[in-house]
Amino acid sequence: MTEAEGSPLVVESRREQVRDRYGKIAAQGPCCSSEAGSQGCCSEGAASAKVNDPAASTQLGYAPEELSSVPEGANLGLGCGNPTALLGLKPGELVLDLGSGAGIDCFLASRKVGSLGWVIGVDMTAEMIAKARENARKGGYSNVEFRLGEIEHLPVADQSVDVVISNCVINLSPEKDRVYREAFRVLRPGGRFAVSDVVATRPITAEERADPALWCACSSGALEIGRVRELLGAAGFDEVDIQLRSQMTTPDSLSGQASLGVVSADIRATKPSGA
């Protein structure tokens, strides 16, 4: 059974709901839909505040100089952290971003891996891919590419990536077990997994998980910490480390998730060198 706890039709329906929501955000901006309600990192009020207020992005872990270095439009304010700050990216490494959106984390990673490195962004939303590619063109990035695909079925070769990053995206997947297995597959032995995401601090009810607005708002798709750890271990990862971000630094844009006990976290893991 997938984490959606439903039939393949339910899983695909959930995926289409997410694709539709983020396609609209890419095409029209964060304030694209009243359906978003008032909760989550992708709600219209929250995302708008994060895009227009650099202080909100710095609360997530972005340095002011990082925010000023990326093309205008690359930061849609949809994240819950800064995965590129969770580990030391090295020159020459190949980095993969799961659910790369408009490209902010890919562009930040590209500067860290340098001209000898490479960054791949994968997103299932065609509108986001088009936006990210245009941002890459505007910014003159020559070591970044964006591929259309699902993070449960990555268009990336086995053992070809040094680092996998992601920012508030895996919670949106109805098949998180597949996402972790795919991340493990594409990582080279010794490869690193560094993700900013939301986790649940209490059980989320079936009714809450069935609500598409809550799910698409980066809320009811969150898993409890123990379950995240279990799925990463089952995929083959070790050295799993999950740290909740201090509530004192949680931006107002994520406060709507408090009623579900959902908070942002930094998640790290490693693929064993012998795997």
Domain with residue 133: its CATH number is: 3.40.50.150
Establish if 2 belongs to a structural domain.
no
Establish if 209 belongs to a structural domain.
yes
Rounded-to-integer distance, Cα 269 and Cα 195, Å: 9
Establish if 208 belongs to a structural domain.
yes
Per the document, the length of the chain is 275
Note the pTM of the prediction, 2 decimals.
0.89
Q: Which 8-state DSSP code applies to residue 71?
A: P
- Residue 190: CB atoms within 10 A of its CB come to 12
Q: Which residues contact 123 (CB under 8 A, 6 or more apart)?
A: 99, 100, 101, 129, 132, 146, 148, 149
User: How many domains would you assign to the chain?
Assistant: 1
Establish if 241 belongs to a structural domain.
yes
pLDDT at 32: 42
Establish if 218 belongs to a structural domain.
yes
Establish if 12 belongs to a structural domain.
yes
- Is-contact 64 255, C-beta < 8 A? no
Whole-angstrom CA distances from 237 to 179, 184, 187, 228 are 13, 7, 10, 11
* pLDDT digits (tens), the chain, 275 positions: 445 456 788 899 999 999 999 999 998 865 443 343 333 354 433 443 444 457 788 888 999 999 999 999 999 989 999 999 999 999 999 999 999 999 999 999 999 999 999 999 999 999 999 999 999 999 999 999 999 999 999 999 999 999 999 999 999 999 999 999 999 999 999 999 999 999 999 999 999 999 999 999 899 999 999 999 999 999 999 999 999 986 544 455 555 577 789 999 999 999 999 88
Establish if 225 belongs to a structural domain.
yes
pLDDT at 257: 75
pLDDT at 55: 78
- Is-contact 270 247, C-beta < 8 A? no
- Backbone region of residue 40 per phi and psi (left: phi > 0; alpha: psi in -120 to 50; beta: other values): left
- Is-contact 47 25, C-beta < 8 A? yes
Domain that holds residue 223: 8-270
Opening angle at CA 66, ends 228 and 255, nearest 5: 45
